[in-house]
Every structure is written in structure tokens, then in C-alpha cells.
Chains A and B, each alone.
Chain A
Amino acid sequence: MDVLAQLAHGFEVALAPLNLFLAFAGAFLGTLIGALPGIGPVNGVAILIPIAYALKLPPESALILLAGVYYGAEYGGRISSILLNVPGDAGAVITTLDGYPMAQKGKAGEALALSALSSFIGGTLAVIGLTLFAPYLAEWAIRFGPAEYFALMVFAFTTLASLAGKNPVKALIASVFGLMLATVGIDPGSGVPRFTFGELKLYDGVDFLVVAIGLFAISEVLTLMEHSFLGTATRVKVETALVSLKTFMGSLWTILRSSLIGFFIGVLPGAGASIASAVAYTTEKRLVDREGSFGSGDPRGVAAPEAANNAASGGAMVPMLTLGVPGSGTTAVLLGALMMFNVTPGPLIFEQRPEIVWGLIASMYIGNVMLLVLNLPLVGWFARILTVPRWFLVPAIAALSFIGVYAVNNSAFDLLFMTGIGVVGYLMRKAGFPLAPVILGLVLGRLMEINLRRALAISGGDYTILYASPLSKALWALAILSLFFPWIAGRLGRRR
């Protein structure tokens, strides 16, 4: 009951008119920031920090504003994923897989509405988890060492197999391409640069976002241009109808499961929204995709990643608040902002500054409701983007992508790199290679390698450390189960 009393106090803080307005402003700005390709929550929060200062906001108000931008962006990222096949931010890459085909089939309104609902449920469940279990979850997150992270990444990799579709060899080649990109940069284990060709801009590795935008947005622009040029462009019919109760109920279990997966992965400091959405999507594909409709516009394929990435952004608040350790790039920035407001996050923040923690948590409940109310009526407006004529839409996507990517690192090199990757992506599409495995290979590859090497450095080269703890054993079992799941499911299905 103590928790409820403190939460009530938190609502008192969050419902103050100023804070209510800031939660709204943050959520609204976040949606816009998330919708623009390139500029993601990290940049959005960083841009707003000085503004929060200049307005001389008290720390809890500033945090409410900044957190609003964070989870607002996870809502907004889906919009361009669904409508344009251009992921608005890192967590929304997977949303393109079924979102874009849905929009192409004329179900843009349904996809947008369902994903808004999924985001809402995922986000809200995460806040409930944060309210009730934050300290316990922190203890759980600490139990994840390098060996456990390595096993988790292996598990995530096995789920990749389900993205393979009709041609597993092509999917494999695509993921190896992603893994290769992941090896570029300074090797943290030895301090030696790899595949950088002496180019300083490659020392930190290949930027995930630059690859994602290039691979999806630029190749999409090239494909659209080709269709326009050949006259094979098809007009997409646009229905702005919201989601039917039947479709929503059909996705409900998917949303709930994905929220849980997203939340737990979000709590881990070493994994984020992109991994959460990928694992949720592939898990759902395994569990519920009997007709093989995932990847060609299945509503559940939109619901899963959106529930997961919003749940992950709530989950990432757990290590930030309880351990003072960021669970994602954006929480790292929020952490920096907190410290600038003279608040030291860590085990004592719940006792020392309850108004900040509970005000923030309460504002997340309110912010999620606001986002839903804000997003549902706008679905029709967003969907009309599809009626914009090609001659305007294609250059606009290209321009937005270039501006977005440039804004992140202020680097012209990134623009060239993005364009190069875009051409590669276009050729891959033409040759029938799936694009998502490249992204997952890039994200997972780095974490997998670095954690394997950390684990072996700790054990002095002894491989038994990789499956020594009960937690890592469980993760290995999951990985094996996931690898043989199609085979097991097939056997069971036949017997029935």
C-alpha cells in the first residue's frame, strides 16, 4: 500500500497544471521527432535539455517533459514505418515488416490505429511494472553478466531464422552482411581499429541509424523512382477506418506477450528497443503465424513490435532510476540531464527525491493516455500522406532522410555512407534479399561479440563460463527450443 500512497503523491505532482502541460508538450513533440526519420528520441531529448534549463523548470517538471519526448518518439516512429517503409527511429525498424504491406493493401488507418493501441498497452503495462517491481527488477538486471548477455544474443539470433521466409540462404547472407558491418570500428578488446581504412569517422563503428535509414528509406526512394519511371506505379487506396474490434481482439494476446518481452528486455542495461521489438516480432511469428501471413501485412506483425518498443522504453527507466545506469541511449541522456539538475540517480533516489521519481512515473501514466488520445484522431490525417502525389512524396522522403541523418552527427560522411548503403539495399531488394536481417545482424553482432570476449576475458579463456549460471542455462535452453521450434511444432501439428 506504501507504493499506492507514493503513487498518489506522484499524481499530485504530475497533475499540477504546468506538469500536465509539459507531459502533453513532450508527448506531442516526441511524436513529431519520432516520425521524422533520423532524428530519434536521443536527439530530441538532447535538444530539449537546454530549453528546459532556459525555462528554469524544476527538476521533476523537466524530467516529465523529457520523458514525454522519449516515449512519444516510440509512438511516432511507427508512422513513417507504416506509411513510407522508412523507420522513424531505431525501435521502429521491425514495424516496417508488416506495417508497410498493410498500408499498401489500403489498411493504413487500421495499421496506425492498431499500433497506437499496442503502443498504449505496451507503454502502460511497462509503467505498471515500473511502479510495482522496480527495485526487484533492478536486482534481476544485475544478474545479467557478459555470459548471460551473450546467451541472450544467441537466443535473439535463433529467432532470426523465422525472418528467413521463402529463401533462408538469402536471409542468411543478409544477416552475415549485417554481422560484417558490426565488426567495423575500434575493437574495445584490444584498442585496435578494424576495417576503418584509416578513416576517423569509422573508428566508432557504423552508425545503426545511418544504415537503417539508408537501407530502408533510400532504397525505397530508388524503388519508387524506378516504378514511376517504368510507369508501373500502383495507386494505393487509402482507407482511414480505424481498427475493428475483431482485429484488435485477435491481436490482444500478441500485444500482451510482446509487452512483457519488451519490458524485460528494456530493463536490461545492455539491450534496447530494437532488440525488444525484434524478439517480440519473431516470437509471435513462431507462436501465432499459422497461415504464414507475417511479413505480408498481418496486423499482429504490427502490434508485436509496437507493444514491445514502448514497453522497452518504460523498462529502460528501471535501471536508470534504481541503479543510475542507463538502459538505452536515451536514458543515458536523461541521466545526464538529471545530474545537471543536481539529482543523483541511484539506489537512494526513491528515498531522497520521491517527488521526482513518483512524479515521473505518474506522468508516464498520464502521458500514455494523452498519446493515445492524440494519436487516434490523427490517424486519418497521417494516412492521407499516402495520397500525396509521387512527384512530391519521393523527393520529400529523400530530403527528410538526408536532413535527419545529418542532424544526428553533423557529418557529411554519414550522408555518403547512407547513400551507398541505400544503393546496396536497392540491389538487395531487386535480388530478393530481405533487409531486416541486415539490421539485426548489425545490432546483435556487436553485442554478441563484445560480451563473448568480456566473458572469456573474465574466465581467462575458459568456455564453461558461458553456461555456468542458471540464468545462462535457461537462455541456452530457450535458444535451442527456438531453433527447433518449427520442427517440434510441425511434429505436434501432424500428430493432431
Chain B
Amino acid sequence: MKRLWKRGILAAILALFGGAFAFSPGNVECIAPANPGGGWDFTCRTGGKLLYDLGIVPRPVKVTNMPGGGGGVAFAHVVTQRKGDANLLVAASPATTLRLAQGKYGNFTADDVRWLAAIGADFGVIAVRADAPWKTLDDLIADLRKDPTKIAIGGGSAVGGQDHMKVLLLAKAAGIDPGALKYVPFDGGGEALTSMLGGFVQVFPGDASETIGQMQAGKIRILAVLSEKRLGGDFADIPTARELGYDAIWAVWRGFYMPPGVPDDAYAFWVEAMKKLEASPEWAKIRDESGLGPFFKGGADFEAFVKKQVADFKELSRALGLIK
């Protein structure tokens, strides 16, 4: 009770001088809208750790896993129950925008939350086994054009999900009927990759970070990366699909959104915080080592980027017959 009193008094003082004091973070929480172990979990845990290490937040960030509905449960929770909570960050990625675009979050839309920032990105890749007959992306596209039903493509997401979208985009760019592709959904990129190593599927449209281990071991060949520019490190020699004449880009950005109704001063604080985090050498190190590339968009920039992405995905999903 005593502590509650103290907090109450403190809050009252803060409220009195609210105009003079800018927002300062308290007990910050980050919701990863999935079980531990995936990309959103990574975003929250590394992002949270760095915010604390860099002294941006006073206490370690609490990570809450809230799986369900491919992020929809967390989205609904944030919109309906956490309105105005300026100490809440939620991990997001194109999986979020894709599902918003396809109406998979019920009646919620991208306008319901405040998009904060993206601090890095993984990039899509097209991988085949090291002993596969296709040496280049052109070889693969040529065979797909001849008979798309001969080549099984195994990805880590459901039909209409991210890994599926990558090959659909590529097919569209190459003028192949996307509907004719043979896509086999697996539970996560790891299972899909194992299936390709076992020879059950021939192509794995995964992410760079998922494939780096097997690529270093020489078990798989990466035909192209789906980024605007070539990636660094081990991926430096691998051409982009765009270089090869197929305009397919898949940036798996890692970022955050915040609840609706977060005051502008708090939002501005967090945008600055993300800028600082993104520019830190600590983040650069983690980013490179986990196979991510640099990618930053924050504040109004990011809001605009997300809204445009949702609109693009909606149009694409409609064109591909994934939604009506």
C-alpha cells in the first residue's frame, strides 16, 4: 500500500508538471505475438535487451509472448485493451501487414495502431539443393516455365503466407502463371529446409538468416536474394533477382507498432529511441550475425511505408486470387 501511495504522489507530481517534462519510459513491455523462438520473439528480446543495455529504458524490458491468430490475438488485445499505453511495444513484420491486407485480423486495419519503426530486415532468398540441376535463377525459371507442376516448392508458411508470396511474386515477374505453381506448406522454414535436403521438395523460398548455416556447409545453393541491393558477408556473391531481370523484392523487416492513442511526446521519444538503437554498434553486430541487413524507417516515414505495403499486398493478393 505504501508503495502505491508513493507511486500515486509521484504520478500526481508528474501530471502537474506534465507539460514541462517530456515522456520518460517506465516498466516497458514488449509483446511478441507468437510463441518463443520465432522472428517476433527475436525482435522483442534483442530489441528489449539493447534498449536496456544502451540506457534508453531504466529497467529490463519485459517480453510477453502472446501467440494466436498469426499475431491477430495480440493486435486485437493492443487495440481494444491497451489504448494509450506508452510503455508498450509490439513486434511486427511483413507477416503482420500481409495478414492485415488479407483481412485475417478480423475487422482491424493498419490504421488502428501507431506504427513505430523498422530497425532491420531479413531478405527472401530462393534456395535449392547443392546438387540440383539449376545453377542460376534463369535455369529454374526456364524449367518452371516449361512445366510448373514438375517442381515442388516447399515453404515455411501456409498458403498465402510470406514464403508463398515470394514465389508468387517471382512467377509474376517472370510471366509464369502463379496459380500453376506447386506450393507445399510446412511448419516453419526449418522443416521446409529439411524437406528440401531430403529431396522431397526442390525449391525453398526462405529467408537469408534461415539458410546461412546450410549454405556455409555447402549443402544448398542460393540462386538469388530478393533484396534491392546485394547483401553483405557470405551473401556478397549472390545476385539479386532484380539484377537478373526479375523484379521481386521481399524484405522481412523487423519492427514495432504501439497502441492507438499513445501521446505524441511518447511516440516521438520512442522514434528517437529506435533511431539511437538502430545506429548503435551493438545492434549492427547482432544484426549482421543473425543474418539481417540494415533497414531503417521510423515515425511518419514508417507509417507511410506500412500503409503503402498493406495496400500493395491487398492488390497483389487480389490479383493472385488469394482474397476476393
**A332–B182 CB distance below 8 A:** no
Enumerate chain A residues within 8 angstroms of B209, measured Cβ to Cβ: 339
Please name the residue on chain A nearest to B215 by beta carbon: A346
Q: CB within 8 Å of B: which of A326-375?
A: 326, 329, 332-333, 335-336, 339-340, 342, 344-349
Enumerate chain B residues within 8 angstroms of A49, measured Cβ to Cβ: 36, 45
- CA–CA, A410 and B60, complex, Å: 20
Enumerate chain B residues within 8 angstroms of A324, measured Cβ to Cβ: 190, 213-214
Enumerate chain A residues within 8 angstroms of B69, measured Cβ to Cβ: 200-201, 203-204
In terms of DSSP, what is the predominant structure of the interface of chain B?
mixed
Enumerate chain B residues within 8 angstroms of A186, measured Cβ to Cβ: 70, 158
* Given A50-B60, A145-B195, A329-B35: A458 touches B106 (CB 8 Å cut-off): no
User: Which of A46, A142, A203 has a CB less than 8 Å from the CB of B197?
Assistant: A142
How many Å from the CB of A405 to the closest CB on chain B? 13
Interface size on A, residues (CB 8 A): 55
**A333–B64 CB distance below 8 A:** no
User: Which of B63, B105, B182, B219 has a CB less than 8 Å from the CB of A457?
Assistant: B182
- CA–CA, A346 and B59, complex, Å: 35
Please name the residue on chain B nearest to A455 by beta carbon: B200
**B68–A454 CB distance below 8 A:** no
How many Å from the CB of A445 to the closest CB on chain B? 15
Enumerate chain B residues within 8 angstroms of A349, measured Cβ to Cβ: 213
Contact mask for chain B residues 198-226; partner A; CB cutoff 8 A; 1 contact, 0 none: 11110000000100111011010000000
Size range of the interface on B?
35 or more
**A346–B216 CB distance below 8 A:** yes
* Given A191-B161, A191-B322, A347-B219: A319 touches B194 (CB 8 Å cut-off): yes
**B37–A332 CB distance below 8 A:** yes
**B68–A204 CB distance below 8 A:** yes
* Given A188-B158, A191-B160, A458-B182: A409 touches B42 (CB 8 Å cut-off): no
Is residue A198 contacting chain B, with contact meaning CB distance below 8 A? yes
* Given A50-B60, A146-B195, A460-B182: A348 touches B160 (CB 8 Å cut-off): no
Enumerate chain A residues within 8 angstroms of B73, measured Cβ to Cβ: 200-201, 203, 411
Enumerate chain A residues within 8 angstroms of B67, measured Cβ to Cβ: 204, 409
**B36–A336 CB distance below 8 A:** yes
Is residue A144 contacting chain B, with contact meaning CB distance below 8 A? yes
User: Which of A201, A323, A457 has a CB less than 8 Å from the CB of B194?
Assistant: A323
Enumerate chain A residues within 8 angstroms of B212, measured Cβ to Cβ: 344, 346
**B42–A336 CB distance below 8 A:** yes
Enumerate chain A residues within 8 angstroms of B63, measured Cβ to Cβ: 50
Can you identify 13 A-B contacts, CB atoms within 8 angstroms? A46-B41, A46-B65, A189-B158, A200-B76, A319-B194, A324-B190, A332-B36, A345-B213, A347-B219, A409-B66, A409-B68, A411-B73, A457-B184
